[in-house]
Amino acid sequence: MDFLTQKNDETFATIWQELIWRGLVQVSTDAAELEKALSTETVTYYCGFDPTAASLHLGHLVQLLLMRRLQLAGHKPLALVGGSTGLIGDPRPTTERSMQTKQQVAEWVADIQAQVQPFLSFEGENAARMVNNLDWTAPLSAIDFLRDIGKHYRVGTMIKKDIVASRLNSDEGISYAEFSYQILQGLDFLELYRQYGCTLQSGGSDQWGNLTSGTELIRKAEGGSVHAIGTPLITNSDGTKFGKSEGNAIWLNPAMTSPYEFYQFWLNTADADVAERLRIFTFRSREEIEELERATAERPHERAAQKALAWEVNSLVHGVEATEKVIAASAAIFGNGELAELDEATLGAATAELPHATVDVAALGIVELLVAAGLSESNSAARRTVTEGGAYVNNRKVQDLESVIDATELLHGRYLLLRRGKRTMAMVEVATS
């Protein structure tokens, strides 16, 4: 990812106005004061990422790109990966989190730091800084925590927070550990305010109670006035939760969601959602996005907006080279490119959702292959497919009923892509032992 190739949209008078237009502000502290600060000062700001898994997901990507926009506008980011808050976990709406071992959390801290780093520049006058809240919580005794921090909190206020209230009204209730999470997050803001002059925190709007925990703590402990931005929770136009399908998150780690899957996720964005996604997840200008909106309205079949969205977000997260491989794989799978040029990982990702079959090396006749792969119900149906010109192996049309596939045609020494007609496909793995 080339940090310097991105820039904010210069058609807006202030970065705050751009954030509003892009739909990145659901709730905030004093908007007028915040816009003034972002326009006239160099603001040090932070966002926290808890290591509750080995990877960040699409919800975190909103925060990463917001941080990037603010840095490009001249402000100083602090990227906090929570080695201590990750040991507790922010409360879920319904059930208690399972606590991970300290070793596991430490490993996830390193994983997430590596994911965050490419989105920010760690050089220059407004260089980013990576911080870990374990550095200031680990040395803190329980007595000092209660005396110096706990004394500023009122239980009545804490139990009114939306998440806490919902958990208190549930059958499971809430543990003291998760109940105290908002104090830990407030402590983070206080420490960053003291150490680095940090005056702005961002997070999802569902975290607003935790965000304001910090603003209130700084007001009480230091008499300081600071700000918070809550970004909207993004949902699809049909009301479903964005980024999840049948309970599966879209991860930023390519080992958990491949670049091919990631690209296809964005490419399959509904027309009703694509303009919003372009504003939030890309650095396209207002003029470019409005042109893509018009193209979607006038020529929806071209899917120009979806292609632009998929290209840019995939390139931001996985790089241009990986994105080019994904596009090449998509073309090759449907006969518009060279399958043999795809690396094994990309080929595997591109064909992951196709039917798969394993055959013995001695049974590579075209008729047997079509049946084994489930593309034909019987040998007679397979013969008919071949004679009618509808059988393809690795995009090569096969019209000889007696054709036997040569071992040199195997992709990566063991795979064949079979196709019946234009779009019915299956992957065959040839057993070599």
Answer yes or no: are the C-beta atoms of 165 and 159 closer than 8 Å.
yes
**Cα–Cα distance measured from residue 337 to residue 347, given in angstroms and rounded to the nearest whole number:** 12
Handedness of CA 292, 298, 303, 306 (dihedral sign): positive
Beta carbons within 10 angstroms of residue 219's beta carbon: 13
CA–CA gap between residue 83 and residue 331 (Å, rounded): 43
SS (H, E, C) 28-44: ECCHHHHHHHHHHCCCE
State the binding site. 46, 181, 185, 244
Q: Say how far apart CA 156 and CA 159 lie, in whole Å.
A: 6
> Where are any strands of DSSP class E within 181-280?
200-204, 227-231, 244-245, 248-249
Residue listed under structure tokens 């399972």: 98
Task: Say how many CA atoms lie within 13 Å of 163 toward its Cβ.
Answer: 21
Q: Binding site for ATP: residue ranges?
A: 244
Q: What six digits make up the tokens of 323?
A: 């994105």
CB within 8 A of 2, min separation 6: which ones?
none
189, 198 Cβ separation under 8 angstroms: yes
Q: Which helix (H) or strand (E) segment is 81 a member of? A: strand 76-81
The 10 Å CB-count burial string (b at 16+, else e) for 121-147 is beeeebebbebbbbebbeeeeeeeeee
Q: In this structure, are strands 391-393 and 415-420 parallel, antiparallel, or unpaired?
A: antiparallel
Q: Annotated binding residues for L-tyrosine, as ranges?
A: 46, 181, 185
